[in-house]
Amino acid sequence: MIITLDLRLQHGAHEIIDGLNLHIEKGEFVFICGQGGSGKTSLLRILALEQAPAGGRVIVEGRDIAKISRSGFPEYRRGLGVIFQDDSLLQRRTLAENIAVSLELAGWRASEAKKETLLYLREIGLLAKAGLFPSQVSENEKRMVKICRALARRPKIVLADEPYEGLDRQSLEKAVELFKRAHLRGSTMVVATHRVEFAGEMDKRAIVLDRSSLGRMANVSAT
């Protein structure tokens, strides 16, 4: 369960989110929708402990994340699958290694990590390119590997910022299926997008951050 209480976020002197009260149930699939500057990416970064709010509280699985010490960050983050647009793959690692390393950091045995990695690469049609480096594949293929890297570890919570953006139609369909499968396995899915129609197409709840109202919440669709 994810709860925000009177959450505030500022960028310099500009207030982006003011008084956001959010409640996401454990195992729910939710879209956070809004245009650029509405605070959707910042909200995910707060949940990932990559950014601090200007005020308010954030409760994740019963824990006030502001009270997690620096030494506790790795343990908390092991339960997350995170996809941000500015994330990069490890350039000196192959596509397979990029996914496998993520699994091993989450506590998987090397043999199991390799097996799961190959399953995901087969699923997205990149098994033949498992041994290639990021510089040797397309941007579309890199985006798909980033999605696999986050989902393959079977995290408790997935935080994904515009994960479908820039994908061709075939890859988009595969990505949607990967997210559906992760949800069916029990992950809580929090997906930020500027395309609110995704929520309707997938019959999921959408939470709209309206920049003009300083981030007040509005549910526009629900399962």
Angle of helix 95-105 relative to helix 139-151, nearest 10 degrees, comes to 20
Which of the four pLDDT bands, split at 50, 70 and 90, describes residue 10? confident
Q: How far apart are CA 45 and CA 59, in angstroms?
A: 14
Q: 3-state DSSP call for residue 16?
A: strand
Q: What is the mean pLDDT of residues 108-119?
A: 97
Which of the four pLDDT bands, split at 50, 70 and 90, describes residue 196? confident
Contacts of residue 205, defined as CB under 8 A and 6 or more positions apart, other chains included, come to 28, 29, 30, 31, 199, 219, 221, 222, 223
Which of the four pLDDT bands, split at 50, 70 and 90, describes residue 211? low
For the chain, what is the mean pLDDT?
Answer: 91
Contacts of residue 84, defined as CB under 8 A and 6 or more positions apart, other chains included, come to 41, 44, 45, 161
| Burial class of residue 13 (count of CB atoms within 10 Å of its CB; 0-12, 13-18, 19+) | exposed
Q: What is the mean pLDDT of residues 143-149?
A: 97
CB 144 within 8 A of CB 95: no
pTM for this prediction: 0.91
Structure tokens given for 218: 């509005």
CA distances from 141 to 113, 130, 138 (A): 20, 11, 5
In the chain, the domains with their CATH numbers are 1-79+156-223 (3.40.50.300), 87-154 (no CATH)
Asked whether the predicted pLDDT for residue 14 surpasses 90, the reply is no
Asked whether the predicted pLDDT for residue 219 surpasses 50, the reply is no
High-pLDDT (> 90) share of the chain, %? 80
Lowest mean pLDDT among 13-17, 55-59, 155-159, 171-175: 13-17
Which of the four pLDDT bands, split at 50, 70 and 90, describes residue 198? confident
Q: What is the mean pLDDT of residues 98-121?
A: 96
Of residues 116 and 39, more confidence is placed in 116
Of residues 45 and 10, more confidence is placed in 45
pLDDT tens for each residue of 58-89: 999 999 999 999 999 999 999 999 999 988 99
Q: What is the mean pLDDT of residues 4-10?
A: 91
**CA 178 to chain CA mean position, Å:** 13
